[in-house]
Amino acid sequence: MKREIDLAPATWAALSQVSSAEGTAIDALVADAVHRDLYRRTRARKAERPDERLIADDFAFSSTWEDLQARLDAKGYWLMKSGAGLAVCDKSNGCRVCKASDLGNSHARLARKLGTAFPGHTHPQAIGAV
């Protein structure tokens, strides 16, 4: 099925240049790009993350690890050590949701803020960061 699309002049110029260099028709380049993008969108694993706005204040205003855990617990999450960092887990099923660093809260940063490493965290780099 053929359809017309509107593209910016700069995009058409870039497509023309690639088309000439590769000896490929512009419509074939566009069709291939759309195909790759649709494939990526349907195959890409979506990262599940808690609503950052929901728990951002918990990280910002906690004064101790226990305080942070209690705040997260009230919203259905908890922290656990994971490698050199921390993971945010769903309290209802125990599954890891994301890394704390994905939310801008690395273990080293939190350890500096709270004055000590996460309880039971034994990774040398993490403890050395305090």
- Secondary structure (DSSP) of 90-125: ETTT--EEEEGGGGT--HHHHHHHHTSPPTT---HH
Based on the domain organization, do 35 and 56 belong to the same domain?
A: no
As a whole number, mean pLDDT of residues 43-65 equals: 77
Domain count, the chain: 2
Residue 5: CB partners within 8 Å, gap ≥ 6? 30
- Supply the range of the domain harboring residue 18: 9-43
Based on the domain organization, do 35 and 79 belong to the same domain?
A: no
- At 118 the pLDDT is 94
- At 98 the pLDDT is 87
Give the integer Cα–Cα distance in Å for 94 and 8: 48
Based on the domain organization, do 25 and 72 belong to the same domain?
A: no
Q: Is pLDDT at 20 greater than 90 in this prediction? A: yes
Q: Please indicate, yes or no, if residue 4 is contained in any of the structural domains.
A: no
- At 125 the pLDDT is 56
Based on the domain organization, do 69 and 33 belong to the same domain?
A: no
Each residue's pLDDT tens digit, 66-113: 999 999 999 999 999 998 899 999 999 988 888 899 888 999 999 999
Q: Give residue for tokens 């960061």.
A: 129
Q: Please indicate, yes or no, if residue 2 is contained in any of the structural domains.
A: no
State the average pLDDT for the chain. Answer: 85
Q: Is the pTM of this model over 0.75?
A: no
Based on the domain organization, do 16 and 72 belong to the same domain?
A: no
